[in-house]
Structure 1
């Protein structure tokens, strides 16, 4: 009996399906006929900006053959009426890893496994350059994942291997869920890059963001040289780069500042990167706009924090709370600024969040048409595939979604997603509305049956005559009802199973089986129609967006600051010039410069600042700092990394900048660490709080590089089991310098020889490392050298003498007092600590009289911080020269102002209060050498970047904003939304010896 019932069910089901459904589309049938499928009476979006009412779409062999109004329907056509439905082009996500397995690191992590030279032959020298890889070679169609994309409305995805700095090529895949070759639209369409080293290599280099940037530059220089036939050996990685130059170049920046960095490299080499962003672009929208780049933007938003515990919530930074609030507005901000971008599902925890987040961004003002463009025509245009995907123009692939209404309405249902003419059912488009109240008769028993919910997902409630609710499980698929009723809670197996096909929505019927196996018929007669409960709840307004500040963290400015005309009246002025310290003196600042110094000055346009009883000085200059550096202060992968530069990785968002300003610091030299004998190039910055990294760089700055001696460079204190990198001894350090300068000398000579006779000489390979060292030999770059022990100090001066250049500055130099006479003879300056000693073995001989002794010997001496905390009180460090060496107050103050300016070769512009110099000044409440002195105003180029009075206002505003955001997050939790636990972010503060892997 059961077998007969099943057979009848299948026959009935197939018959009804054939009668109601469209012509079944699959690869075998599609390849054997040229029938047309015609969709009529629909609203059709041919493009986001081209809509037709009551339109007709004709599809044949997976492509659109015609679309429009009043179109003649071919004879051999299957016609599907879609009255009341809307057709949209399917979405495109061009940044995924679909069908490509995530690279897995099989090596034991840890620096003890580091290698410094690749063992691979025939490829590029660095194993993070994986340009020879092709995504299609490892691609395997992932049907379960494809169905996730299809349910979200996507028809095409771009995919590639997410590993390495140069990641190889990506392919374009149609999600048509067949086994046919048509799935791969293009096996090579994109070429991918990032700043992240490969997860599959133990090659030590690069270990930092600046190392990755230098590697990219060197790669492009090598590519150009290689393409011109200058190499004697074949390099498969460079061959691939050359072959794939015309592909779409996509760069995964993953941060707003990294987007600026990638754009910088693109401009250097005349590249056109499509930048894969991170969602925080709104925080630097002006700079992002100025890149003139197109973007791929994730529609990922963080969850609210659970702030119900006030003690835990205190550890959440305002920047993170603010980003939660502001992130949903990122697409609107990008769109309003005319930035062209596509959207991606990348970074989402689950695909269902895509639609939720997209609708959220629309609530926050993102235009619906722009949203549709970002998912269709824009990604198609980026890929150069506008004639095939992204629209429903004649000739394009038949990739479209059928919906119940406007695609970005919350209540809209996605019914079907057709890809290359293959149908994927998301929700049954032919589902009948069976909602209502029924009398359900099963055999001789009658029950009350209420069906509500939605047409696509109805809900069931069954009660007995005495109003007892019965547990039941109910579903409808392709108009077949399946109902499971548990009528007796005392008997575990007491289930009644019913099934039936919906033919008449007023009377439902079918067959069933009681728990004891008895076969029964059932009927359900509608007693009253379904009445939808009118939604009286007003649409919830999104949370007010907090205003963006510059930078977008605590203590950021509400707007970018501008220079002012300022007149300080009756100040005690520490000029650092021959005039010495002037009392009751006025100083006028205008157009970013010091324009007048004297008594009884006036200017009608100036803001008057009463400085009576206060002290005005030039800004403090920190010769040796490591704050505001992104993703690694050391590029420790090689013993020489002269090719890297801190200028690439200035972090304008570091709160330590603001703290330095509060301590009167206006300029710092950001130095590479001391992990290697020859480190990276430095950056001299003015702390223009709120501006971009490039705007902070000192204009036309002298060129510097960091060298290092001692324990760090020979790995004696790296804390690893088996240090392997050369050098391992102090004499090895000397040999590194000798070898590299000899190579740089030969490199420089080869270029000079070529430039003198380019027609006869072979063009040398550009080597950024040797090029930098050659600048030292040519006296175009200065050395700041980390140093402690007198023997090594003498050693480096001897090496410099051998190659005919001077060391500019010995920094730390805690045994400088032993060799001050030799240093003066060599012409080197000293940047030291006031009184640090005994923190490691090579510092045991340090004394607090070191600075004064060198000063008295006639050296230019500065005190530096090398530390984020110390840099905020360098004024007090200068006072220690008075305490320990009886240095005059005026000369001691120069240790942190004019003297570091001299060491940095910028004393013609800064370091003293002199007419014509930059208006970098600080107003102190007391003698600046006093522990009681506070910086009341810190001014750079005439702009007040710190004002102690406004500081109090900022603190009050921060408290108010935190409370508002906490209230919003509590509302999220009360509404049942997902939240995340508060976590304290441990921010690493860099020192010379800080090692990490980016």
Structure 2
């Protein structure tokens, strides 16, 4: 056998015996950097209530391979000395959107002057008086009803798009649509850098409904809170009727007129028939109760975005027993020129400032599952400071960690991938000099799917 044949034979044998976990790139692509790491001498918060001192975390090809106490680093792994550092599972923000928080606590105008349906026959208004929804293709007659919208269709983040979230320890998030009333479908995304194809973890995750009275176009229905709720109820009722009509048509196609196709009503079947979860942002504590009762009419078990005012009616919150996504955008007390000026501040405002950091505590103590979000916080750098205030008012660090990791992981159906520092999970980690819940402790950075 020639020397060339021997070389080829050895090369084939090596290829057959080499690990297969690494990604094989097509010709012309640069090789990926080594994906084998050993994080040694770390304090690891494996999950809420479980901590390992002097731990070794082995990462291979974007996943956690092992977490052991006093473990040895494999010879092929690059070692990272984590002495004095604490590792947490990467945090998950369950509600990231460009839209501002809404409020439905103010009195709404219900005159409806000039407001008509935007083109849907039989919805509101007289034939020939409908306005066009302004969208191409078949769909809802109201421009604010766009359940078919998918956030991944325009998802193309820049390298620094989510830097402010990463700086607070977040490694994954639910990217949420920002326009309309029935706004469409969100996606669970990685907050790493790279191709959008690689960053989407779970597409079409939630359907989103927001009681937004300012979402409609000028002259378009609805303009009031009553109108918003009416439009949501009518759209969901239309979706049920749409399904019944199509089911009857399929069974009697030879004798029954073919129904019209409506993309908006068709996509809502994933909610009404297939159980796609729905997140509702109601804007006030009274509307929390209304949102849950409205969802119950259609067999929907919603997740509610907390309003910050649940402390006003804890009886309603406790009775509904649902899951909450809780913003901690705490209001700041204004700087008054003199002490006498404080006398002009209403008691209600003072109560709102005082209760704001305790609102998540009230929800949790009422036995409700909460997941924390940065939603509504203008300066994301204040997230840890706000969280510390919430902890000072009674939320335990155990529950705070759960609200950032295991709870949103379950909420998004990604508990098999995210939420804990365990073998088989994605290597998403937060690295802190000390205790994350001390705002003065330096956050060194994050690992996202094995990349620092």
What is aligned with 2:288?
Answer: 259
What is aligned with 1:243?
Answer: 270
> Alpha-carbon deviation of 1:333?
1.6
Report SS of the residue matched to 2:206.
Answer: strand
Whole-angstrom distance in 1 between the partners of 2:371 and 2:74: 37
What is aligned with 2:233?
Answer: 217
What is aligned with 2:58?
Answer: 58
Alignment of 1:729-808 (within 5 A): none
**Which residue of 339, 350, 353 maps to 2:368?**
339
| Cα shift readout 1:320-357 (whole Å, capped 9, x = no counterpart) | 11111121111222222211010111111201111110
Report SS of the residue matched to 1:144.
Answer: coil
What is aligned with 1:783?
Answer: none
| Cα shift readout 1:507-559 (whole Å, capped 9, x = no counterpart) | xxxxxxxxxxxxxxxxxxxxxxxxxxxxxxxxxxxxxxxxxxxxxxxxxxxxx
> Alpha-carbon deviation of 1:312?
4.9
| Cα shift readout 1:258-301 (whole Å, capped 9, x = no counterpart) | 11110111222211110011212122222202111100011111
What is aligned with 1:276?
Answer: 305
Report SS of the residue matched to 2:352.
Answer: helix
What is aligned with 1:300?
Answer: 329
Whole-angstrom distance in 1 between the partners of 2:214 and 2:416: 36
What is aligned with 2:14?
Answer: none
> What count of residue pairs does the alignment treat as equivalent?
389
**Which residue of 409, 431, 452 maps to 2:438?**
409
Contact (CA 8 Å) 2:357, 2:386: kept in 1 or not?
Answer: yes
Report SS of the residue matched to 2:275.
Answer: coil
Contact (CA 8 Å) 1:146, 1:177: kept in 2 or not?
Answer: no
> Alpha-carbon deviation of 1:254?
2.2
What is aligned with 1:188?
Answer: 204
> Alpha-carbon deviation of 1:199?
3.1
**Which residue of 206, 229, 232 maps to 2:259?**
232
Contact (CA 8 Å) 1:49, 1:369: kept in 2 or not?
Answer: yes
**Which residue of 406, 430, 443 maps to 1:377?**
406
Q: 1:126 to 1:35 in 2, by over 3 A?
A: closer
Alignment of 1:483-502 (within 5 A): none
| Cα shift readout 1:36-57 (whole Å, capped 9, x = no counterpart) | 1011111111112221111111
> Alpha-carbon deviation of 1:33?
6.0
Q: 1:33 to 1:422 in 2, by over 3 A?
A: closer
Alignment of 1:431-830 (within 5 A): none
> Alpha-carbon deviation of 1:35?
4.1
> Alpha-carbon deviation of 1:180?
6.0
What is aligned with 2:147?
Answer: 131
Whole-angstrom distance in 1 between the partners of 2:270 and 2:357: 39
The answer to whether residue 441 in structure 2 is matched with residue 395 in structure 1 is no
**Gap regions ≥5 residues in structure 2:** 1-24, 102-111, 120-131, 249-257
| Cα shift readout 1:411-446 (whole Å, capped 9, x = no counterpart) | 3111121111121xxxxxxxxxxxxxxxxxxxxxxx
What is aligned with 2:42?
Answer: 42
Q: TM-score, normalising length from structure 1?
A: 0.37
Whole-angstrom distance in 1 between the partners of 2:233 and 2:431: 47
Q: 1:386 to 1:31 in 2, by over 3 A?
A: farther
Whole-angstrom distance in 2 between the partners of 1:73 and 1:66: 10
Whole-angstrom distance in 1 between the partners of 2:29 and 2:353: 50
Q: Which has the larger radius of gyration?
A: 1
With a CA cutoff of 8 Å and minimum separation of 6, indicate the structure with the bigger relative contact order.
2
Contact (CA 8 Å) 1:399, 1:419: kept in 2 or not?
Answer: yes
Q: TM-score, normalising length from structure 2?
A: 0.80
Report SS of the residue matched to 2:186.
Answer: strand
Contact (CA 8 Å) 1:124, 1:238: kept in 2 or not?
Answer: yes
> Alpha-carbon deviation of 1:203?
4.8
Moved more, 311-320 or 266-275: 311-320
Superposition RMSD in Å: 2.7
Q: Which has the higher strand share?
A: 1
What is aligned with 1:291?
Answer: 320
Contact (CA 8 Å) 1:281, 1:288: kept in 2 or not?
Answer: yes
Report SS of the residue matched to 1:202.
Answer: coil
Whole-angstrom distance in 2 between the partners of 1:214 and 1:112: 16
Whole-angstrom distance in 1 between the partners of 2:88 and 2:172: 14
The answer to whether residue 179 in structure 2 is matched with residue 163 in structure 1 is yes
Report SS of the residue matched to 2:426.
Answer: coil
Report SS of the residue matched to 1:143.
Answer: coil
**Gap regions ≥5 residues in structure 1:** 1-26, 103-110, 424-998
Contact (CA 8 Å) 1:63, 1:421: kept in 2 or not?
Answer: yes
